[in-house]
A and B are shown apart, each in its own frame.
Chain A
């Protein structure tokens, strides 16, 4: 099949999937509506309680789900390309942990109320970028990437970050403690619309700029040196991609907390569905991640209703098993 046709087919399928996830997530929750109901409620206009549930509670969650799911999955796909390892993603590399630590520092220090909520995404971005470059330089020896070093370094950074976060919680005020605990569990429940807008903008920006490097990522699959032989400035490309991945991860973590493994499961499934070519993999990972996180969130909201699970619980369970399966099959990129 011609690549163009195949790509169109894959995109069409994923857009349908996203639409399906969108509708399901609007329908189900503590109160469920049928599809007909939803249309009626939306037509009846504001002022209605059901309208408020749909538009003020569920819709913002869905939008945040698209932003965070898309971002984390895209970030995973990019990192896997750079590291040439299918087990790499923001969570396993410790990037989410670094972002979370930086955000906790801001919450505990009270900088958030002092400098506005914008301090949170900024801190997330800073934490991510610090970890991403640290892991990279730590695992490169004499120009060769040591994959095992890198994954272990990432796991250790996650440990250190979570220990430091516990330290912060121990010394934090009650108010700070409550916000950290709620936020670290990973949830799409975010009352601040501004933060949701920032997350959505960041995710689309990241997606847009990642496409400048789609061909370069294809070349990097062969290794940094061979990419240079094909005319790619590997060092510079990797730096740009790190910045994009940090933006995507840092802001997602700042708004939604640590949601693990989305960046592992979805790109992996997309490789099976659409192939390894980054020209399709980037967009398909984004769309697939968005749909997956919305559905996971719907499940988290309904499974023990009226209570609600952190969505990180669902992605963590699914992702942990996926990690082991991929590890066992030794998939290559």
Chain B
């Protein structure tokens, strides 16, 4: 399978300091990859480098084997769409918001959306289950609905690669799973490659077929979830105690936290 994205020897950061050191990562087309790691480990910085907000200081990024620096802003937006932690709250109609995803396909002088734009926007609103909200204002929606609408907006860009930066962090478990199931479906049915930053290690293990664990601006380890979510890696990178096991139904790795009280009472060694 050819790759959608290759990151070769990437170093970058703000100002004079480096926040990312020599990142190497290849994402095959149709992959579902999770990026995990503690706060400040460079996950979001990596996203900024991919989406073009930060310029690499060293190294190169290839999008479908072409140097990403050679893409125009608009061309890039036709290939990569980004969904962030939250939508800037704005009193805009849901349908108009989703239609913004069609921006990369319009020239500066085409003033109004075409019929095709409406069709595409409606298709993805139906797919994300937000079509019935189309005449509401974004400010009237719940956090979960806003995220679903934002995903519909991102899909309207018709990207090959979808980047999600903690897109489920603020949501309850029901909405988290709803969104992750949707992403899985997009990945399976539409072959959209997915790269997401996610804090919840269990969800990362359950949904992703490849994990990248970052620490202090570098990749600590990458591989299949059962390799990456090993207690030795987690304890070292997150500086915490965990127990790992296997989900009896899905067979995916699960990670359990252990309170310090339990540990200091000595029960920790007995139960494991």
Contacts and interface: CB of A to CB of B under 8 A. Distances in A.
Interface of A: 3-4, 84, 142-143, 212, 214-215, 218-219, 221-223, 225-226, 228-233, 276-277, 279, 332-333
B104 interface: yes
Given A228-B52, A232-B73, A232-B103, A215 B82 contact: no
Given A143-B53, A222-B87, A225-B48, 9 more contacts: A212-B108, A215-B108, A222-B88, A225-B51, A226-B84, A226-B88, A228-B73, A232-B103, A332-B139
A219 B96 CA distance: 11
16 contacts: A3-B112, A4-B112, A214-B111, A215-B103, A215-B106, A219-B103, A222-B88, A222-B90, A226-B84, A228-B52, A230-B77, A230-B104, A231-B72, A231-B76, A279-B111, A332-B91
| Residue of B74, B80, B92 ringed by the most chain A CB atoms within 10 A | B92
A84 B139 CA distance: 16
A142 B44 CA distance: 14
B30 interface: no
B134 to A, nearest CB: 14
B99 to A, nearest CB: 10
Contact of B82 (A143, A214, A229, A332): A229
Contacts of A232: 73, 103
Contact of B74 (A142, A212, A231, A277): A231
Contacts, number: 67
Interface in B60-113: 72-78, 80-82, 84, 87-92, 96, 100-101, 103-104, 106, 108, 111-112
A252 B53 CA distance: 36
B14 interface: yes
> Which 7 A-B pairs give the minimum distances between C-beta atoms?
A231-B77, A231-B104, A231-B74, A229-B82, A230-B103, A233-B73, A222-B88
A228 B88 CA distance: 14
A44 B139 CA distance: 59
Contacts of A333: 90
Contacts of B96: 277
Interface string B229-243: 000000000000000
Contacts of B77: 229-231
Nearest to A279: B111
Contacts of A223: 88
A231 B14 contact: no
Contacts of B89: 332
A233 B73 CA distance: 6
Nearest to A224: B53
A231 B88 contact: no
A212 B111 CA distance: 10
Nearest to A236: B73
A276 B91 contact: yes
Contact of B103 (A221, A231, A279): A231
Contact of A276 (B48, B90, B104): B90
A218 B100 contact: yes
A228 B51 contact: yes
A309 to B, nearest CB: 36
Contacts of B104: 230-231
| Residue of B51, B80, B88 ringed by the most chain A CB atoms within 10 A | B88
Given A143-B14, A219-B103, A229 B88 contact: no
Contacts of B53: 143, 225, 228
Contacts of B81: 229
Contacts of B72: 231
B193 to A, nearest CB: 16
A233 B84 CA distance: 19
Nearest to B51: A229
A221 B52 CA distance: 19
A333 B88 CA distance: 10
A226 B78 CA distance: 14
Contacts of B88: 84, 221-223, 226
Contacts of B51: 225, 228-229
A230 B111 contact: no
Nearest to B82: A229
Contacts of B157: 230
A143 B92 CA distance: 25
Contacts of A142: 14
Nearest to B80: A229
A223 B90 CA distance: 11
Nearest to A4: B112
Contacts of B112: 3-4
A233 B75 CA distance: 12
A223 B111 CA distance: 21
Contacts of B78: 231
Contacts of A143: 14, 53
A129 to B, nearest CB: 23
A279 B78 CA distance: 22
A127 B84 CA distance: 38
A215 B106 CA distance: 9
A231 B81 CA distance: 10
Contacts of B48: 225
B67 to A, nearest CB: 18
A223 to B, nearest CB: 5
